[in-house]
């Protein structure tokens, strides 16, 4: 039994992961409840030795009305990744800030606050990161229509709309190329 499989068993015993599986060979992914995130991450960091924090990502599941926060960590000795996920409510998007565990989470949380509107409680520096003077809804949310925004705020150069539709054109060109 490999290290990750052992880890999976441990985690299933210790926490109550909803879905614990291997998306690929050296990556363990599991979904835990909101309250267990800090516990799971500190277990991985302090007990198992996943010292290197890779990234924090956020996925918008608009249909379910949830945001999914994804914490990815890396074990420098065992050379494996683990992925801790949790789902938070989309309407009242709030989560605890974990910036005290790894310093660089600060940056990720700041970006997710800006791009998805997730409020991280206890974050020391929730200030605009990438955007400036942004007044619309957080742009990475799936219900934000970027083309609509562009039509409202920018002017198109004439001639662009008359040209062929790239989508159709690529399809045709691809058909021809495939025949050869």
Question: Could you tell me the two tokens for 99?
Answer: 């910036």
Q: Please, which of residues 23-52 interact with another protein by CB under 8 A?
A: 23-24, 26-27, 29, 51-52
Which is closer to another protein, CB of 39 or CB of 128?
128
Residue 158 CB coordination number (10 Å): 7
Which x/- pattern, by CB under 8 A, does the window 113-152 give for another protein?
Answer: ---------------xxxxxx-xx--xx-x-x-xx-xx--
Binding another protein by CB under 8 A: which of 83, 88, 117, 119? 83
Sites of contact with another protein (CB under 8 A): 23-24, 26-27, 29, 51-55, 57-60, 70, 72, 76, 79, 81, 83, 102-104, 106-107, 128-133, 135-136, 139-140, 142, 144, 146-147, 149-150, 153-157, 159-160, 166-167, 170-171, 174
């Amino acid at each position: 039994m490999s290290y990750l499989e052992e880890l999976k068993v441990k985690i299933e015993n210790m926490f109550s992961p909803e879905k614990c599986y291997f998306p690929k060979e050296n990556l363990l992914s599991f979904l835990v409840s909101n309250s267990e995130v800090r516990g799971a991450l500190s277990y991985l960091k302090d007990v198992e030795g996943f010292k290197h924090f890779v990234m924090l990502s956020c996925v918008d599941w608009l249909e379910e009305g949830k945001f999914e926060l994804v914490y990815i960590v890396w074990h420098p000795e065992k050379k494996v990744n683990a992925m801790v996920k949790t789902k938070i409510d989309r309407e009242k998007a709030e989560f605890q800030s974990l910036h005290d565990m790894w310093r660089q989470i600060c940056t990720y949380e700041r970006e997710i606050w800006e791009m998805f509107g997730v409020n991280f409680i206890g974050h020391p520096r929730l200030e605009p990161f990438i955007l400036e003077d942004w007044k619309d809804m957080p742009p990475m949310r799936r219900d934000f229509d970027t083309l609509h925004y562009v039509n409202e705020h920018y002017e198109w150069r004439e001639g662009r709309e008359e040209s062929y539709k790239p989508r159709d054109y690529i399809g045709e060109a691809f058909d021809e190329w495939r025949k050869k």
